[in-house]
């Protein structure tokens, strides 16, 4: 089997950790490198977390530090100040992973992305799990090379909801200028938005997290412990038990797009984003091509809207914890075997 060439661009992040572990567990991916951007926490702890995940998974790839803040913050040299506690002080709740410093590259994330795409034009897929600052900087530096990216899978945005504000999802809110620059190549690159509309169709329940803790080894215990902080935040903000692991949805859909129904994908949509004001970070998705066919607006996005939660969770468990998969079906999902 020919492996798909993958770059993961990320800001780990509790849900990023779940997602990266899934991506590194999938035999069909050749994860060429992990590029890091500030977002959930500052760049330095995000890099440390990425190095810890690579070490945990004994992965054969390097970690490439990237942007320290949004495009506007970089322009203003104002730096990045953490203003959310959703992922904890260092990004992984109460969990601290052991980083492997030997896996940290001296090459900047933007240069690594461009060098990799140049070496493999039309083959590289980017799974974007954080703000799009690294991608936008790469486009600013060499747009023609970035147009040779095969596919971008982006966790971000929302058609009908937000989470950082009533209308804006966090990743897109954090750097809307980068989103605008990146979607500008959407007619040349297949661009898949995995936003809040689809991620909110999923949830790991308290039963799921208990099973991870008890039956899925050290990695499962770590993921369950990590999610405890997430669960506290969900209860504090929206009084919900269980957790939505947004970035994991993106990776699982990238692995198997058939987890979603074709009728639940808005293909060839036009996506625009508000970059300032009270609606900063809001994505405006034109769903019907006939409405903008004569407007000159690009068909720059495929927007995924729905997913089967049980199929998603089964796919994750089977991929990452195959030895516990049958017990998960039997005791947590209570599926009857024929």
Active-site pick, 15, 175, 246, 247: 246
Contacts of 256 (CB under 8 A, 6+ apart): 315
Q: Is 11 a catalytic residue?
A: yes
Does residue 251 sit in helix, strand or coil?
A: helix
Q: How many CB atoms lie within 10 A of CB 278?
A: 10
- Catalytic annotation present for 246: yes
Selecting among 11, 197, 208, 247, the annotated active-site residue is: 11
Taking the C-alpha atoms of residue 244 and residue 252, their distance in angstroms, rounded to an integer, is 14
Q: Extract the tokens encoding 57.
A: 């998974």
Half-sphere CA count of 117, side-chain side, radius 13 A: 25
- Which of these, 243, 241, 257, lies nearest to 306 by C-alpha position? 257
Q: Could you tell me where the DSSP H helices lie in the chain?
A: 14-25, 43-57, 71-76, 109-119, 133-141, 143-146, 170-174, 176-183, 196-199, 206-215, 217-238, 246-255, 289-292, 309-320, 325-327
Residue matched to tokens 């703000």 = 131
By C-alpha distance, which of 119, 116, 120, 97 is closest to 46? 97
- To which residue do tokens 């991608």 refer? 135
Q: Is 175 exposed, middle or buried (0-12, 13-18, 19+ CB in 10 A)?
A: buried
Distance (Å) of CA 193 to CA 199, 249, 298: 11, 11, 15
Contacts of 190 (CB under 8 A, 6+ apart): 150, 151, 152, 302
Catalytic residue IDs: 11, 246
């Amino acid at each position: 089997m020919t492996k798909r060439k993958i770059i993961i661009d990320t800001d780990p992040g509790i849900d990023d950790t779940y997602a990266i572990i899934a991506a590194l567990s999938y035999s069909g991916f050749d994860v060429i490198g992990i590029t890091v951007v500030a977002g959930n926490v500052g760049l330095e702890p995000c890099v440390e977390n990425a190095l810890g995940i690579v070490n945990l998974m004994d992965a054969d790839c390097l970690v490439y530090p990237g942007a320290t803040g949004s495009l506007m913050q970089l322009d203003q040299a104002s730096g990045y100040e953490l203003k959310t506690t959703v992922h904890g002080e260092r990004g992984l709740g109460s969990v601290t992973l052991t980083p492997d410093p030997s896996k940290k590259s001296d090459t900047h994330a933007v240069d690594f992305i461009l060098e990799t795409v140049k070496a493999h034009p039309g083959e590289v897929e980017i799974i974007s799990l954080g703000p799009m600052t690294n991608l936008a900087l790469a486009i600013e530096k060499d747009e023609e090379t970035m147009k040779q990216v095969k596919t971008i899978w982006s966790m971000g945005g929302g058609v009908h909801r937000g989470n950082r504000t009533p209308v804006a999802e966090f990743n897109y809110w954090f750097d809307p200028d980068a989103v605008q620059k990146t979607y500008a190549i959407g007619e040349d690159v297949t661009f898949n938005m995995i936003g809040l509309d689809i991620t909110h169709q999923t949830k790991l329940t308290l039963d799921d997290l208990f099973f991870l803790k008890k039956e899925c080894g050290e990695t499962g215990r770590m993921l369950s412990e990590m999610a405890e902080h997430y669960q506290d935040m969900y209860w504090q903000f929206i009084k919900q038990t269980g957790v939505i692991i947004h970035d994991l949805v993106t990776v699982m859909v990238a692995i198997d797009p058939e987890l979603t129904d074709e009728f639940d994908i808005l293909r060839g949509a036009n996506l625009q984003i508000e970059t300032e004001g009270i609606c900063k970070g809001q994505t405006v998705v034109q769903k019907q091509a006939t409405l903008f066919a004569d407007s000159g607006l690009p068909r720059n996005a495929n927007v995924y809207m729905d997913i089967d939660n049980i199929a998603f969770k089964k796919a994750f468990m089977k991929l990452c914890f195959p030895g516990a998969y049958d017990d998960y079906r039997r005791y947590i999902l209570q599926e009857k075997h024929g």
